[in-house]
Structure 1
Amino acid sequence: MIYRLRVLLDASVDCFRDIEIEDNATLEEFHNVIVQAFQLPGDEMASFYASDEEWNQGEEYCLFDMSGGMSTVKKMADTPMEKAMDKNKTRMIYIYDFLSLWTFSIELADIVSPTSGTAYPQVIFAVGELPDNAPDKEFEADPRFHDDNDENDYKEEEEFYDDESFDENDFY
């Protein structure tokens, strides 16, 4: 089967690609198609993340295992598209270059039969050009862990330590 996917850059300008890829292609192959379709350099780390209807970031599929065997890692090369996405799991997040954070939302639009004589994967529609720099990200603190009095807490700690006779150069 063929997956029809929309890959949308998280930016204020319209920039997306509609891609068709075989369901048995790996996430690494899909990563390579995205890199080529958006003309990214291709020399940076990247990961896919499972996502829900609210675009919450879930399970990671990484390009390389950097854990050193310390944890189990799902790699793109070992994961076929059909294991990461299906008609019930229709969204993923793709992050390219963890310093610049090029962030793309991916949505499964349709699953169709292959067309005879068509080479897959292929870009079937493109809108917009990639900006020169990754769009700025605004990160918000989770309100469950945010305390409006944090600044005052630090002042109280500083005042406490000011009263102590502590010499940071005296180790013994």
Structure 2
Amino acid sequence: MIYRFRVVLDNDTEEDVFRDLEIRKDDTLEDLHNIITQAFGFDGNEMASFYKSDDEWNQGEEFSLFDLSDGQDSVSLMNKITLDSILNSTETKLIYVYDFFNMWTFFVELAEIAEIDEGVDYPNLMFVHGQIPDEVPERNFEAEDDLDEFDEFEDDLDLEDYDNLDFDENWN
């Protein structure tokens, strides 16, 4: 069996940018990472992660390309996770982030589970739409409006005036 995916660049540009690809269901997330980077013209040498996602594209469990935890946390690595172990006909969505400095973000959705076509080499890039911009599109986060109203000095306390601060400076 093969998995057919649509991989959509999360962007605010006028033109949609996506790729349709197919890959064997027992290939790893690292294999999917490789075809995504090739399909969008990246060199594939930057840090990347997949995240399980629900139907509203909320970010879930992380699957990392490299283990950067210094042994402190357990890390699920892409090369150890097969596609069919985390995706099926009801769990179809992943978020893919490439290059953590630029944060290229993609929505990856399993569109179809199909039979293997004899004579087709997998993974296979099936369709290309749109060109990736030269720079990562800026994100417009709604929560930024709330930050404009935040004033860290709103309470008018003078931190140099120790006599009027509400604590005992000789407490120990």
- Say yes or no: does 1:3 pair with 2:3: yes
TM-score, scaled to structure 2:
0.86
Counterpart for residue 31 of structure 1: 33
Report deviation, 1:75: 0.4
Question: Partners of 2:135 and 2:32 in 1: how far apart?
Answer: 22
Equivalence map 1:29-108=2 (5 Å): 29-108=31-110
SS at match of 1:74: coil
- CA deviation map 1:86-136 (0-9, x unaligned): 111111000001111100001110000101111110011110111101111
Counterpart for residue 167 of structure 2: none
Counterpart for residue 18 of structure 1: 20
Counterpart for residue 119 of structure 1: 121
Amino acid at match of 2:43: P
Report deviation, 1:140: 4.1
What is the aligned length?
161
Question: Partners of 1:88 and 1:140 in 2: how far apart?
Answer: 30
Question: Partners of 2:83 and 2:50 in 1: how far apart?
Answer: 11
Report deviation, 1:164: 2.1
Question: Partners of 1:149 and 1:10 in 2: how far apart?
Answer: 28
Query: Any stretches of 5+ residues in structure 1 without a counterpart?
Result: 166-172
Aligned residue among 147, 155, 164 for 2:162: 164
Counterpart for residue 154 of structure 2: 155
- CA deviation map 1:43-95 (0-9, x unaligned): 21000000011111110000001001101110000000111211111110000
TM-score, scaled to structure 1:
0.86
Aligned residue among 136, 139, 143 for 1:137: 139
Question: Partners of 1:73 and 1:28 in 2: how far apart?
Answer: 14
Question: Partners of 1:106 and 1:116 in 2: how far apart?
Answer: 25
Question: Partners of 1:20 and 1:149 in 2: how far apart?
Answer: 47
Query: Any stretches of 5+ residues in structure 2 without a counterpart?
Result: 164-172
Identity of aligned residues (%): 45
Question: Partners of 1:84 and 1:56 in 2: how far apart?
Answer: 16
Deviates more, 1:58-67 or 1:38-47: 38-47
Question: Partners of 1:64 and 1:164 in 2: how far apart?
Answer: 49
Distance 1:149 1:126, change over 3 A: closer
Question: Partners of 1:138 and 1:90 in 2: how far apart?
Answer: 26
Question: Partners of 2:42 and 2:158 in 1: how far apart?
Answer: 52
